[in-house]
Amino acid sequence: MLNKQTIEVIKSTVPVLEIHGTNITTRFYDRLFTSHPELLNIFNHANQKQGKQQTALANAVYAAAVHIDKLEAILPVVKQIAHKHRSLGVKPEHYPIVGEHLLGAIKDILGDAATEEILQAWAEAYGLIADAFISVEAEMYDQTRRQQGGWADFRAFKVAEKVKESDVITSFYLVPEDGKPIADFQPGQYISVKVEVPGEPNTHIRQYSLSDAPGNPYYRISVKREDEKTGKPAGHVSNYLHQAVQEGGILWLSAPAGDFVLDVQDERRVVLISGGVGLTPMVSMVNTLVDKYPQRQVTFIHAAKHSSVHAMKEPLEQLALANPQLSVHWCYNKLSDEDKANRTYHKEGYLDLAWLQEIVPSTDAAFYFCGPVPFMRALNSLLTQLGVPQADIHYEFFGPASSL
């Protein structure tokens, strides 16, 4: 445990971190990759270029400083990040490297204001937090390795089937190359996929939610092709998977991870809400609920720009027809003439409070949602306006954690 003086010094840096946090973490990554370029094989380069990783780390450091006298308050966040670290292959030997360059970045940015007392206090605090991560991750590695069908690090999987789900989303059915069993997972979890893209100097690792129910002899991921947009480059990995990886190809996968999971003990109604490719963990959840918990009422709401980018629409509608406890609702920003003619939609425009009140019969339910961050922020606000307790609101970020 940290002594009182160390805690007071750390807390005194909170205002500085609020102002300079992102500058510190940006400098940290510059130092880290200059000294250890091999770590570029672990980190998501796109998140680095867009500043998402720097912001997420700055928020984490700030939270650690705020809660330094009650670190148990951030334990759920530690576990969430530890899931990601385990899926990426982060190891104990990486933590001293990170600590060295984080302290160096603090000194570089703050200059003389980063006194020896402050640097020593942060060194002690970082050591304590690093030990917590190492302990939690060691348990996760061990549990993953020992479970039936489990494995350590990355394992070769063959693409058994490749299915186009929409204009931008394709599903990959993955089976182990060695023919042995695969680890079970909880609906909502993800796997990491490691690829070597021709012409790229480093390997790339991306997390993709598992988009089918557990219990199958395969894993399914449904990948959105990220095209180039204003201010956002095309996705290296998503385009490689769509264009270059064919049936029979090999992908390297980590075992399932993640703490955004369906609570199967809760017997109340489940409301699943997704935007864009955020529907992938929701499909895993709804398939599991219909198959294994048919007594639970389920409302599935999906928002998309238009029907041509709406993946898995027909299978979900067929599922609803065969299971009266499931209702599905679609919301498109723009309706095509075919949509209007066939009435294959429920709402045009955006999710709003009036429509949610119309289709969600009660707020006494468990709400799960996922999608682009602006969509999630708006939805979180709507659910709060509906009076849904925070304890019943569950969500997942694709990429570094942000704030709603």
- 187-207 confidence digits (pLDDT tens): 999 999 999 988 888 899 999
Section 383-399 average pLDDT: 92
CB atoms within 10 A of CB 389: 11
Q: 85: annotated binding-site residue?
A: yes
Section 102-117 average pLDDT: 94
User: In terms of Cα–Cα distance, which of 243, 268, 325, 241 is closest to 291?
Assistant: 325
- 313-335 confidence digits (pLDDT tens): 999 999 999 999 999 999 999 88
- pLDDT of 361 reads 86
pLDDT score of 242 more than 90: yes
User: In terms of Cα–Cα distance, which of 54, 27, 6, 28 is closest to 399?
Assistant: 54
Look up the pTM and report it: 0.91
pLDDT score of 356 more than 80: yes
Q: What is the rounded CA–CA span in Å between residue 282 and residue 325?
A: 16
Ranges 63-72, 78-87, 118-127, 261-270: which has the least confidence = 63-72
From the list 62, 95, 345, 368, the catalytic residue is: 95
- pLDDT of 403 reads 64
Q: What percent of the chain has pLDDT over 90?
A: 76
Q: How confident is the model at residue 345 (pLDDT cuts 50, 70, 90)?
A: low
- pLDDT of 321 reads 94
CB atoms within 10 A of CB 34: 9
193: which strand partners?
Answer: 206, 253
Distances (CA, A) of 38 to 20, 24, 41, 42, 380: 27, 21, 6, 8, 39
Q: 206: annotated binding-site residue?
A: yes
Q: 209: annotated binding-site residue?
A: yes
Mean pLDDT across the chain, nearest whole number?
92
Q: Which helix (H) or strand (E) holds 116?
A: helix 116-146
Active site residue 95: yes
Q: 399: annotated binding-site residue?
A: yes
Q: 256: annotated binding-site residue?
A: no
- pLDDT of 45 reads 74
Ranges 17-31, 85-99, 137-151, 342-356: which has the least confidence = 342-356
Name, in order, each residue with C-beta under 8 angstroms of 101's C-beta and a sequence gap of 6 or more. Answer: 28, 31, 32, 35
pLDDT score of 37 more than 70: yes
Active site residue 165: no
pLDDT score of 48 more than 60: yes
From the list 29, 126, 137, 141, the catalytic residue is: 137
pLDDT score of 230 more than 60: no
- pLDDT of 188 reads 97
pLDDT score of 70 more than 70: yes
Q: What percent of the chain has pLDDT over 70?
A: 96
Section 27-40 average pLDDT: 94
Domains and CATH numbers, the chain: 4-146 (1.10.490.10), 155-253 (2.40.30.10), 269-396 (3.40.50.80)
Q: 111: annotated binding-site residue?
A: no
Q: What is the rounded CA–CA span in Å between residue 21 and residue 89?
A: 26
Q: How confident is the model at residue 57 (pLDDT cuts 50, 70, 90)?
A: confident
- 120-169 confidence digits (pLDDT tens): 999 999 998 899 899 999 999 999 999 999 998 999 999 999 999 999 99
Contact, 107 vs 114, CB < 8 A?
A: yes
Section 104-117 average pLDDT: 95
Q: Which amino acid is at 293?
A: Y
